[in-house]
Structure 1
Amino acid sequence: MSEWTYLCVAVSLFVTILLLAGYLLYSGLLSDIVISTGSPPIKKVTFVYKFKEGSYKKCAELLKEANSIGPALSCIGIFYDDPKKVPGPQCRCAAGSIVSEGEDKADMELLKRYETSGFKVFSFPEVTHVVTTSFPHRTIFSILLGVKRVYPRLECYIKDRKLCAHPFLEIYSDRLIHFMAPLARQGDFYVPEVRLAERRLSEQEELDSDSEISGADSNSEYSSGTEILLSDSRETSLAASSARSESVRDRGDANPRGGTSKERSLTEMSWEGNDQEPEQLNKDSSQVSRDPVPHLLGVVGGEE
């Protein structure tokens, strides 16, 4: 190759790198991330959603489907488990579009279109205190950058202040991605499918416990090797169920995408009417966070 050819290749490579760097910077690569505790970025909300158990990457499909029906609406994702601690197939999320906020009324025709496509309707109240931040929403890559950059900061912020914040929400507007986790009335942010999953998990643990007891009695005269197998089987079952419980508890002092999250009963986890001042919330949550309830990392993210 001639020197001229080498020069052209070098210039092309330099321009490509320059354009890529500019694209990343525009997408939010170096944008400031300011996390605070205070009023939420959204008011009382009614939204349509589909529930999904599995890798949070699949949540992008639900957001894309929701956006195709109502492109002018803000999309929303709610993440109930920390993907760092809960196996991908067991992570739970709800994703869709916000159809009304505050006292606004939903477009009934649009609402019917969503319901025809299999979306369900759910509402949650406006809370007084949340952990929140925002990130630029300028390109598709902004979503990936936001998830990678925001959740580690949220994790540190929540852990350092011993807060109990869950689940994690991501609201996608035209120019910003809002990340938030409520510090009160968390139970109101759990869609019915999550409550049902919790009930099934509790019932399964009771069945496993009964089986262990009856199995131990019926095999009391068997060899010690059999007893060991029974014991190991029980521990395996507990490990599977506690993995999600720890993720939910830890979520209160960790991350999300997002997002930490769950598992004490939803009754305990709902702090309805907790409109204390931030100082008092921090004081109370420092006690709760020793055994925090669910917490999301979040979105579409949070997963490697």
Structure 2
Amino acid sequence: MPDWLSLCVLFSLLSLLTVAGLLLYSGLLCDITVQTGCPPIKKITFAYKFKEGPYKDCGQLFKESHCIGPGLPHIGVFYDDPRKVPGALCRSAVGSILSEGENKANEELLKRYETSGFNVFSFPEVTHVVTTSFPHRTFLSVLLGILRVYPRLNHYIKERRLCAHPFLEIYREGQIQFMAPLARQGDFYVPEVRPVERRLSEQDESHSDTDISGADSNSEYSSGSGVLLSDSRETSLAASSVHSVPIRDKGNRNYRGRSSGGSSFKELDWEQTGGRQDERDEQLHGDSNQKSLEAPTQEWWGVVGGEE
């Protein structure tokens, strides 16, 4: 065998081993446990920009937010199920967590975000959420986390007939923390969602109502958005009888998940990965110092799907 051919074979083997090692380190085979329990975050105040469009395009907002506050945890809130809502209408809020719990936001950072066009809002601490986490080690961790975590969340929520929304992703301390509140969901909807919800509701009034099994008794189904609309901001805790019942990652290699997401704020090139992913979910929140905005509730049978 010629020397050059031997070198090519050796180089190919080394490349394959390197890629395999990177995937394993990024979380390809890590265990995923989904459970109902306490949230990974307390009450937070965060700076965000609202976006209506495909989730895969959210990467630029993560990058912009990171440039302003590189040391801050970053957050994405996803309001729509892209399997039911066209990509152009999918809503999200992306930004940085300025403070948590009783801590106060840094005034200088707050002004920098506001100067750059970010809005500021607060989410409350709730007692019950559906949650899990995934290692955030490389830029591939974001893609792997989205592809592997959301099918498990989808299965967990559907199997237990829970009403959990919207979906949050928090990036901090080497972890991607996924959560969906099981109560006070309306408090997790930024004000920009309200006009869109009203428009969807008005459009749906011309259609006959559809009963959805497992939904709240006062809910109406919005066939255009895949959203369950209700006058109640609180959602009954169907999860209360479930407690923390973990499920283990079984693989599910054939799942068609979102294309990319979150951000590896130390290593991820957003432009390289295409930024955010093509799936996630929907609703509305109120600030701690102002009256909470009323928002419709939605029953999530899993947030991920193929966004065309």
Scaled by the length of structure 2, the TM-score of the pair is: 0.73
Equivalent AA in structure 2 for residue 145 of structure 1 = L
- Aligned mates of 1:281, 1:200 — CA distance in 2: 37
2:290 equivalent in structure 1: none
Matching of residues 225-240 of structure 1 within 5 Å: none
2:241 equivalent in structure 1: 279
Q: Please tell me whether residue 243 in structure 1 is matched to residue 206 in structure 2.
A: no
Deviations 1:195-224 (A, max 9, x none): 121123334456x68xxxxxxxxxxxxxxx
Report the Cα offset of residue 42 of structure 1.
0.3
Q: 2:95 is paired with a residue of what secondary structure?
A: strand
Residue 293 of structure 1 is aligned with which of 271, 274, 298?
Answer: 298
Q: Which runs of 5+ in 2 are unaligned?
A: 208-221, 245-296
Deviations 1:102-138 (A, max 9, x none): 0000001100100011100110110000000000001
Q: 2:67 is paired with a residue of what secondary structure?
A: helix
Q: 2:47 is paired with a residue of what secondary structure?
A: strand
- Aligned mates of 1:112, 1:298 — CA distance in 2: 34
2:27 equivalent in structure 1: 28
Equivalent AA in structure 1 for residue 234 of structure 2 = W
Q: 1:37 is paired with a residue of what secondary structure?
A: strand
- Aligned mates of 2:301, 2:73 — CA distance in 1: 20
In structure 2, the CA distance between the partners of 1:173 and 1:302, relative to structure 1 (3 Å rule), is farther
Matching of residues 150-165 of structure 1 within 5 Å: 150-165=149-164
- Aligned mates of 1:61, 1:73 — CA distance in 2: 17
For the aligned residue pairs, the C-alpha RMSD in angstroms reads 2.5
Equivalent AA in structure 2 for residue 293 of structure 1 = Q
In structure 2, the CA distance between the partners of 1:167 and 1:295, relative to structure 1 (3 Å rule), is farther
Q: 2:111 is paired with a residue of what secondary structure?
A: helix
Query: Residue 128 of structure 1 contacts residue 275 of structure 1 at CA under 8 Å; is this kept in 2?
Result: no
Report the Cα offset of residue 174 of structure 1.
2.9
Matching of residues 107-186 of structure 1 within 5 Å: 107-186=106-185
- Aligned mates of 2:85, 2:242 — CA distance in 1: 31
Query: Residue 168 of structure 1 contacts residue 296 of structure 1 at CA under 8 Å; is this kept in 2?
Result: no
In structure 2, the CA distance between the partners of 1:157 and 1:297, relative to structure 1 (3 Å rule), is closer
Deviations 1:39-66 (A, max 9, x none): 0000001101101111001111111110
Q: Is the radius of gyration larger for structure 1 or structure 2?
A: 1
Scaled by the length of structure 1, the TM-score of the pair is: 0.74
In structure 2, the CA distance between the partners of 1:141 and 1:102, relative to structure 1 (3 Å rule), is same
Report the Cα offset of residue 296 of structure 1.
9.2
Query: Residue 39 of structure 2 contacts residue 129 of structure 2 at CA under 8 Å; is this kept in 1?
Result: yes
Query: Residue 41 of structure 1 contacts residue 178 of structure 1 at CA under 8 Å; is this kept in 2?
Result: yes
In structure 2, the CA distance between the partners of 1:29 and 1:38, relative to structure 1 (3 Å rule), is same
Matching of residues 9-158 of structure 1 within 5 Å: 9-158=8-157
Equivalent AA in structure 2 for residue 243 of structure 1 = G
User: Number of residues paired by the alignment?
Assistant: 242
Equivalent AA in structure 2 for residue 242 of structure 1 = S
Query: Residue 171 of structure 1 contacts residue 178 of structure 1 at CA under 8 Å; is this kept in 2?
Result: yes
Report the Cα offset of residue 79 of structure 1.
0.4
Query: Residue 79 of structure 1 contacts residue 297 of structure 1 at CA under 8 Å; is this kept in 2?
Result: no
> How much identity, in percent, do the aligned residues show?
62
In structure 2, the CA distance between the partners of 1:145 and 1:153, relative to structure 1 (3 Å rule), is same
In structure 2, the CA distance between the partners of 1:69 and 1:108, relative to structure 1 (3 Å rule), is same
Q: Please tell me whether residue 264 in structure 1 is matched to residue 229 in structure 2.
A: yes
- Aligned mates of 1:147, 1:275 — CA distance in 2: 26
In structure 2, the CA distance between the partners of 1:151 and 1:275, relative to structure 1 (3 Å rule), is closer
- Aligned mates of 2:123, 2:202 — CA distance in 1: 27
Query: Residue 163 of structure 2 contacts residue 300 of structure 2 at CA under 8 Å; is this kept in 1?
Result: yes
Q: Which runs of 5+ in 1 are unaligned?
A: 210-240, 249-262, 283-291
- Aligned mates of 1:8, 1:179 — CA distance in 2: 44
In the TM superposition, structure 1's runs of 4+ consecutive aligned residues that sit over 2 Å from their partners are 200-206, 274-278, 294-299, 301-304
Equivalent AA in structure 2 for residue 202 of structure 1 = S
